[in-house]
Structure 1
């Protein structure tokens, strides 16, 4: 029996009608990412409380962000992706969620800035959940539903970030940041247990693992690695997707992680700023789902190009906003920044074939986390040397042009909602 025949027979589950199990896989993927987002939001939304207790300031905050995000990016690009293709999508996702949970809860015991930074850095490495959840869903659900179901993953970011912002603004001020970190940190652990005991490994991954060495050789199978991603057949895809992920996070960085210090310079108080973040995040949940549906109808390329341009225009609108329009336009910027990610996961799943999909997706998301880290190192010095307006101009014009160019670089799939390329 040929390798192709084996693959087709083992992948019938993906071609069947939508079932409750498919929906459950999507729900756990979304909620797993939501728990990570809630964890990620703890630091920026509870910053005033941490500043008072541990002596954090804005410059130190940038280094903590950078340490965590760059570490996550490096691990995602070099370790997590290869582990996903070697050992499976499910165990890597469980491990990533557990890492975030354990070290976030440990960070609640921090006694100084140094101990807090170490715990937060290791907790942030677990954010590779983002890429793994995308692969898990993409390879488990019917092709005709893949677009909107993967598009729901970033909705978890808005859901989790909004929950954490509300919790930090309304509850943490009463119970303190340490109990808040302990409670929010437990969420990823709950999701890790649910994934471990209720989700099966994807049929595409199992199909490849069951092939013998001669079948893999016949398909020109190679060991998944960063080097392979830059081979002649994959180079253009890797460059396009990686550029997009690296620069697309800048708008998210400004509207999520630096929103409170930015809004403070515009005269907005802490509680009002946190409420704006919560509102923007929860509207962003709806926006990302809608984006996923647009991806099904129009494809990820067209959707991402359109949203990138509109997002750049909204950044210009924020620059010229007055006091009474600042919060509404800020919320629009945040919603658009989140909506962009309703289509981005489909870009990575469609760009890479199955045998290297985990490696490619993790490399792309690693570039995204590295983008968060590099921007964390640059934003505060740029604010000090220039102004917040300068940063928003950079996001509005040159970065928007880079995003559009990177989408054009990435090859389109042969048809919308087509089966994912296996080999």
Structure 2
């Protein structure tokens, strides 16, 4: 691939390292028919390193050849997943909210994974100054003010800012005790206390045997905020060592479009996890347990947009669960998963989920035992776990509509 002005250098932090090295070159061009073409090639120097690792296990395996893609506007999955908007979005405020060192919306460690794109040869250095957890209150206040401003614009002009108030970046990375956390900001008029319910749901998932990320609830500016520990960062003495991480979209080689969403499937995801994971049996059983938990709590919004695989060393494993939350049943609306989960499609019924157990390397009796065990634990423990996690009685009544609705529907 001949170098051109449109080339970008792709950097990667090698396992256990906080420093970045050049992995290869990437460019996007437009073909005569107007279709975008993405091209990537690993550098010879990088390929010659004994510690070289692939950027992702699906599209960008280690090879000397030039790899090409027409999907995603010419973006390879690993490069798309490295964008700040894919996970842990930065605050995108109109006003400049400074942390004393640089604007909040320019902090590089909002990016997920271990891949960074740059124009020049100079690799980005490790970031040592991070947002402190004590700064969350000021950020929540600034975010609320920005939402009010955008709502006022929408009411005045009815254009431009339409619906943006609910989409303003709701996540930011903060540091506490040499650990990085994604702080998920709540909204003032949410149906329930999102931070408390999400935190409690993850505790409930843990009781069901699901591998979940550590979480905390932090009070800031009169609001509860959920903190989720980042699985891709670990303090290494002079900075945070970065782990490669990809989403389900990349693992399946698909897109987030209405057409592609119709084909999203846990079964296909299981096939790719089986091929990619260094411990496929354990990860497939874990994935199946998560599906059973989603069914038990009526979590209908699970998708391929969250981190799915993480490589803390050279090999890939299923990432910890971070996002299960009950979905309130709506009269007249479908109660199906967002993804195919069995031979009968998206139905989160016991028969359908257990019917696809073979793709998870499970015999039917073992699959039935997992499904029934998870369901029983949810029914017996959900209320206690919610209350112990600080969920109000009023919010528990809403959660009950999801739990009881699903139990009665089986």
TM superposition score normalised by structure 1? 0.24
Normalized per residue, the structure richer in strand is 2
Normalized per residue, the structure richer in helix is 1
